[in-house]
Structures are given as structure tokens and as C-alpha cells.
A and B are shown apart, each in its own frame.
Chain A
Amino acid sequence: MSLLEFARGPALTVSLLVFFIGTAWRLWAVLRRPRKTDHSAPRRSDTVTGGLRAIWQRMLPRSAYERIGMTGTINAYAYHIGIAVIVFAFAPHIGFIERLTGLSWAALPDGVTYVATAFAIVGLVFALATRLTDDVQRLLSNFDDYFTWLVTMLPIVTGMALIEQSYVPATPMVAPATPNPTLLAVHLLSLELMLIWFPFGKLAHAALVFVSRYRTGVEFTRKGAAL
């Protein structure tokens, strides 16, 4: 079995299994716990809307709190959007998802993905630099933070190597039709590493964020408090 066959076959299957089962288990560990009953007289009853509003609002910068660093917020936008574009709007990736699920959609022009990649890389590098230099973030950080950074960065870097290797000046910025099998295998394996790590580390915030924001939104709305 070649490296590529391994990456496309058993490695992919195992990583997807770990990703789905692990994430479901992590969410279940939270959701299976008892919910507290609240006997206090609610000020407002539109708590479900409040929960959904909190999910949306906490995505926006909090202008009433002037000290909250805008740099960090803007940077977070940069790499979150950058990564989302790479994963969901780049033609080869949509092809990959289609082969797995049968679902597909229109891709953005490759040029857009390259710009998004630049944002993601610069954003992630800046985030790491902040984590290493800011006293607060340094204190809070542990293995998870640094390893998560690494497994997020690796697929981007290996993906770039894959494109770079087939770069043809006459037709700039074209995704390789026949990518180098070793590089493609390494790229796939790096993605699989990220999928395997996802449930265990902080990447799972992509799922947990909906739970914690929603719950806070519900509780605060019940009290009639601002979100």
C-alpha cells in the first residue's frame, strides 16, 4: 500500500471515525448532565430567541467594552474566515467533500482562496506570537493551545506546498491537476491529524461555542439582562 493509498484509505476512515465519535462523545458528556430547574419568576419568556441572539451577538465586537483588544478580535476574524474559505470554498476541497458525502457547491475563484490563505497564515502566526508574548495568554496556555496551533497550521502549509509544486508561470494560481502523490499524502495525513485531535483539544470549541453561548443567552434573557 502506497502512502497515498494509506492516507486515502484506512487513515481517512479512522480519522473521520475519531472525529465524529469523539466530538459526539465530548458534546454528550456536557449535554447528558442534569439541567438545573429555575423556579424564579422570569422577566422575559423569549429565552430561545435570547439563546440564539447570544450565539450571533458574541460573534460581533463588543463596542461597549472599550478595552477589549480590537487587534485580537480582528485577527480572530482573519484566520477564522480564512480557514472557512480554504475548507469550504476551494474547488479541490469541495471535490474532496463531494467524494465523501455526495454534496457539492460552487467554488470561489482560486485567487480568493489564496488571499484567504494569506489571511489565515498571517492571522495564525500573529495569534501564536501573541500567545507567546502576552502575559495573560501565556499564563492561560498549555499543551493543547500550542498543539492545536500546529495541527491547524500543518494542513495549510502542506496544502501550499502542494500548489507550489505544480505552479506553472504561464497559468498562474492553478490548482494541480495531477498533484505529487507524496505531497498529497502528506497533506491528507496532516488534515487527518487535525481531525483526530479535534475532539480532544480546543478545536472542539467550534461545536461547544453553540452550547455555552446559547445557555448564557437563555439565562441572561430570562433575567432580562443584556447579552
Chain B
Amino acid sequence: MSELDTKHPLDFDAPRFSIKQPAVRSDEQGHLSDTERVERAMKAFARDMNSTVAAYLESCVHCGQCAQACHFYVTSQDPRHTPIWKIEPFKQAWKREAGPFAWLTRTFNLKPAVTADQLREWQELLYDSCTMCGRCSMVCPMGIDIAALVGLARHAMFEAGLIPHELWAVAERAEREGSPLGATPAVLKERVEWLEDEHEVEIPLDKPTAEVMVTLSSIEIMKYPVSIVALARVMKHAGYDWTLRSDGYEATNFGLLSGNLEWQKDLSLRLIRAAVACQAKLLVLPECGHAYGALRWQGANMYGQPLPFEVLHITEFLARAMREGKLQTQGMKGSVTYHDPCQVSRRGGATQAAREVLAGLRADLREMPQAGDANWCCGGGGGVVTLHRADEHRRRAFSIKVKQVEQTGADQLVTSCSNCRLSFDDGQAHYHWDRKMGSLLETVAEHLQDASAARG
């Protein structure tokens, strides 16, 4: 058996695998004056200002309905956690600087100019208190996509050098090393060798050409490596010509989460170029929510043209393989409930894929009271799970999830996002909750008809 790299040990047991708590927080980046910070923020926001965003900023009727949709507001009852309030400085700036009656607003000083202190205050609202889950966007009677506005506001905050310490650190590391959690190509290679050895599976790495290029989340590489084994088993069973690529494997995109468009683009381009290099017809994204949003829906825009290959989330891929009769599975015993990762279901449009997979496993699916597109977020998305100062707040929001899951009475829980799993692991430890979140991919692999043979 090969040795594990001691510099990057596996972290199976930590309830939350993430960035160490900084001894001294530094939630501002760069040496900029307050005026410069505001100017940069506004310039970035203006750059994003298209017709749809303008319509959103003009339309809010201050009805407050979005508050009740947000897990952070519902569990804190703090009106500042009202989704649209998280955008307030940008609404204010729009009205004053660029809106249809900006000249009137400025002349009569109807809205004050945005200040750096205001942006500092909003850091906690835009990062710690929003997972960009888009639940609020579903209930707004004006049809405002508030989650999308938060994404744009994050661009502005990044430009202003006003993002939380941990998120900046992971995003910067992802840009520099290719992975936010230290899963460098060397670590990946070593991990793959170890897994092949330990689990007697073949995990092709860096094949020069392959029909399918599969990508991973560094959370899987570092904390849930069994997922990679599950993946290899499924691919072998279905008979795909596939590969992992050390020049493009990390599907998480902390450029997107932190608000740095350049980094977001760099990270997406690595995957795109690797897929082009191995002439893949299909790129499969891992069990990760925001990776899906980043590549499936934003990747081509980063590339500046349509992608020359298809992009599927692993749940869509599994559903298709089942539909095509490529996966022979045994029926699943006991009941199960499925937690929808927001970026795959509500925001990604792939809500039915996981249900199709579970139906293929003949699972006794017990849906949560608000499942599918209306599902409550785990509270850890959008980079929130990396922020130590948000722990209490995030765990409080997670309590909704505990209640939802308990209402189903299901024996098992599965999801298809390793970041959600991380939030569940942490919530489970915090609440001493007698539940463990599992992976849909691993569940499928365990139920392959030859799985026991493969394991033996």
C-alpha cells in the first residue's frame, strides 16, 4: 500500500473539514483608501449592469416577502437578513448614480452616497448571511432574482478588497495551487494511486484522449475519497472510456464564490482546456452544487463561446446511464430522503435527475415537506461553511434542515453535493444528531449488481 502524503493528511474525522480559524482576522485586502474602495466597488457593479439587473434594482416594492424564504432570516429574525436588504448599498448607488432619475436623487440628496463603512457592514450580509441558494428569488412577487444580485454584489466587494478572511485565503489558494484545500496535482496523483491500491479499482489519470472527462471536488479528494472509488466503479460498470486529468480536475470554483471574476474564469478555463485537450465529448461534474452553476451555466460565458463538449452533473450522468440501461443495480433497502443541493436543483434545473436515479434504485423515497425546487438550503453553500465567524448563524439555519429531515422519518439521507455533506457533518456533530449524510453516487456504486464482487 502506498503511503499518504503527510503534508496533506486525510481528514475523515473532523466534523468540519475546512480552513483553520485565523488567529487574527483580516477581512480587508489591499492598501486602499476608503474612497478607492467605494470607487472600485461601484465600478465593478456598473460593469455588471445589464438590462435585467437594472430591471431588478428598479422593481422592488418593499413587501418583505423574501425574508420568510431565507433560512438566515427565519432562524435569526433579524430584519437585516431580509434578502433584498443585502443588496441595499447597491440599490442605493444605482438610484443615486445611474438610475433613471439619478440627477434628481443627487440634486435633492434623496439617497446618500455609499460609504466604505457601509460596505464593511454589508460584508457580513453578503457573505456570512447568504448562500446564494435562490430560495428568495422564487417567492419575490416582482420576480427579482435576488440571489443573482448577491453574486454581482460580491464582485463589487472583491474589487473593493472587502471580503472575509477565509474566503479570500481559499480563493487565492485555489488560483495559485489549483485547489482551495491543497489538493494539488501531486496530491491528486498520490491519492489516486493509494485508492487504486487500497480498493482495487482502476482510476485512469491523464489519458491523452477519452470520451468522458470526469472532474472532482477537492472536498472529495481530501475528505470523501471513497466517492472517487464509487465513481471509478460506476464508470467501469457502465463501460465508459473516461479519465481524470491532472491539468483540470478541480471543479469547485472559489473565484465565483468570493466574487473574483478573473479567478472564476481561470479556474473554469483549466477544466475547459483539459477537456478540449483530451477531446472529451462530455465533462462530468462532481457531487458539488456551485461547480455545476460555475461550469454548466457560466462556463461557456467565461470561455466566450459555446463549449465544444457537453456538461453534466454526476446525478444527470447517472440518470442518463440508467436510462440507457448501462447500470444494473440491486434494489435499495430501507427508506431514504434526498437533500437537493440548491445550485443543482433550484438554480440548476436538474431537480429530477436525482429522483430518477433513486427510482432506478427502486428506493423508498420519502421527500421532505418542501423538497425539490423549494428545498431549504443546508446553510453552508456560497462559501459560508468556510467562515468561522458565521458558525453559530449557519448552525442555527441548519436547524431547519434537521427538522425537515426528521419529518420524513427516512432511514437514510443522501445528497449530491460534498459541500452540503460537509455542512451536514458539522451540523450533526454540533447538534449531536444521530444522522449521517451520504452520497448519492456512493449509494449507486454500492448497489451495482457486481458491486459485491468488485469489493470482494
Contacts and interface: CB of A to CB of B under 8 A. Distances in A.
Interface of A: 25-26, 28-41, 43, 54-55, 58-59, 62, 64-69, 72-73, 76, 131, 134-143, 145, 200, 202, 204-205, 208-209, 211-217, 219-220, 223-226
A204 B58 contact: yes
A140 B306 contact: no
Contact of A41 (B84, B138, B307): B307
Nearest to B73: A136
Interface stretch (B27-35, B201-209, B297-305, B389-397): B297-305
A64 B373 contact: yes
B246 interface: no
Given A139-B82, A220-B349, 10 more contacts: A30-B51, A33-B50, A39-B306, A40-B297, A41-B300, A65-B135, A76-B63, A140-B64, A211-B55, A213-B142
A34 B50 CA distance: 5
Contacts of A226: 138, 346, 349, 351, 372-373
A187 B135 CA distance: 43
9 nearest A-B residue pairs (beta carbon): A224-B349, A213-B143, A29-B100, A39-B300, A226-B373, A136-B64, A64-B374, A225-B349, A33-B51
12 contacts: A30-B54, A30-B58, A30-B100, A33-B49, A36-B50, A40-B299, A136-B82, A145-B62, A202-B61, A205-B59, A205-B142, A223-B347
B62 A202 contact: yes
Interface of B: 49-56, 58-65, 67-69, 73-74, 77, 79-80, 82, 84-85, 99-101, 104, 110, 135, 137-145, 296-301, 303-307, 310-311, 346-351, 369-370, 372-374
A39 B303 CA distance: 9
B63 A137 contact: yes
Contacts of A215: 51-52, 55, 143
Contacts of A214: 143
Nearest to A143: B110
Q: Name A's interface SS.
A: helix
A209 B62 contact: no
A59 B87 CA distance: 24
Contacts of B304: 39
Nearest to A57: B143
A20 to B, nearest CB: 14
A147 to B, nearest CB: 11
A43 to B, nearest CB: 5
A58 B82 contact: no
B100 A25 contact: yes
Contacts, number: 177
A29 to B, nearest CB: 3
A122 B306 CA distance: 54
Contact of A62 (B62, B139, B350): B139
A68 B434 CA distance: 31
Contact of A223 (B52, B310, B349): B349
Nearest to A38: B301
Contacts of A58: 140-143
Nearest to B293: A223
B64 A65 contact: no
Contacts of A41: 300, 306-307, 310-311
A225 B50 CA distance: 22
A64 B58 CA distance: 27
Contacts of B296: 40
Contact of A225 (B49, B62, B140, B373): B373
A43 B239 CA distance: 26
B55 A68 contact: no
Most buried by A among B55, B298, B310: B55
B68 A67 contact: yes
A226 B55 CA distance: 21
A225 B55 contact: no
A68 B65 contact: yes
Nearest to B296: A40
Nearest to B101: A200
B319 to A, nearest CB: 13
A206 to B, nearest CB: 10
A143 B311 CA distance: 48
Most buried by A among B68, B74, B349: B349
Nearest to B110: A143
A36 B301 CA distance: 10
A211 to B, nearest CB: 4
A62 B144 CA distance: 15
Contacts of A205: 59, 61, 142
Contacts of B299: 40
Nearest to A127: B63
Contacts of B77: 135
A30 B55 contact: yes
A33 B56 CA distance: 13
Contacts of A213: 142-143
Nearest to A64: B374
A139 B79 contact: yes
Contacts of B135: 65
A43 B297 CA distance: 10
B298 A212 contact: no
